[in-house]
Amino acid sequence: MLGVAAIGYLNQVGLPDFAKRELQERLAKRGIELEFDWLRLELNGAWKAKWLRLGQADSAGKLSLAIQDVHVRPNYQSLISGAPSLEDLGLSGLGFGAALVADGTNLPPITVNLPKAGVRLGDTGIFSTEGLEGEVLGVQMGISLNVTNALELRELPARISGKPKKEPKPITPESLSRALRPIKDGLAEFLKRRDEIGTDKQPVVQLALGGDAAVPETLSGGITIKAGGITTPAATVGQFELGLNLLNDDSAGEGAKRLSGTLAVSDLVTERAKLKTLTGEI
């Protein structure tokens, strides 16, 4: 009866404050800030949260992630075995923030809101995105993913490098800070140089990927980058367009390249040279 009552409480009221504080304290010891409006247990074993906020801060500044709706169903047997895994994960309404410090100076804050964006990892191992598009740091972004056995992509760096897979280590404030430092440094460098780069038209970046990650030959997709009227301290460019396409084996045909691309640049002007047009294939 006590178990039924506890499940009923978690379903109707949500995680009590004392349990929330304990969870926050545990994550804080790993360098992670956590906040949410409420967290409830569904009768099917899934957990739902409203406005989940995660953050990490150190001397280089703070990164934050906000998710309006969270749906997660863990594999409870895997929790018992000590190798936790998920059966279902859904995130919708995404927001990102950064308040960075460089050379002792607070940089302008970054805020990205994608209220219609969502990502889903289903129990069949399919990772997909929905509405993942909008303006990010002055660039119009669009990302479309639909990948089966998506967790296999974690093995891709080891396959490419030929190095053995590294065993995961416990998360500590120091290890988390090291892992996120390249992101903070990259964003800080962008903010410091953002005013040096101008465009007449908003740059556009489109990315798509689909297929079965367990069978790399089935993966296909592409990335397109377009920008116009680019001005920098070193050069000006009238138009820039880069396209890369990845074909699966069936589309590429026997003996054909799976990866191809095109590059087109017009009206390139530097201190030393002028170039009307430049086109090429990759």
Q: What is the mean pLDDT of the chain?
A: 89
Which residue do the tokens 């990490």 mark? 56
Closest by CA position to 209, among listed 179, 246, 182, 244: 246
* 10 lies in the same domain as 114: yes
* 150 lies in the same domain as 35: no
* 87 lies in the same domain as 103: yes
pTM score: 0.86
Contact between residue 144 and residue 168 where contact means Cβ atoms under 8 Å apart: no
Lowest mean pLDDT segment, chosen from 4-13, 83-92, 209-218, 232-241: 4-13
Quote the CA–CA distance of 53 and 38 in Å, as a whole number: 11
Range of the domain at 60: 1-123+171-196
* 58 lies in the same domain as 111: yes
* 192 lies in the same domain as 247: no
| 3-state DSSP assignment of residue 85 | coil
Tens of pLDDT along 229-240?
999 999 999 999
* 88 lies in the same domain as 151: no
* 28 lies in the same domain as 111: yes
* 59 lies in the same domain as 88: yes
Single-letter code of the amino acid located at 26: R
Contact between residue 100 and residue 137 where contact means Cβ atoms under 8 Å apart: no
Lowest mean pLDDT segment, chosen from 108-117, 155-164, 259-268: 155-164
In-domain check, residue 128: no
* 189 lies in the same domain as 207: no
Q: Is 98 exposed, middle or buried (0-12, 13-18, 19+ CB in 10 A)?
A: buried
Interior CA angle at 253 toward 252 and 258, to 5°? Answer: 30
In-domain check, residue 92: yes
Tens of pLDDT along 22-33?
999 999 999 999
Structurally, how many domains does the chain consist of? 2
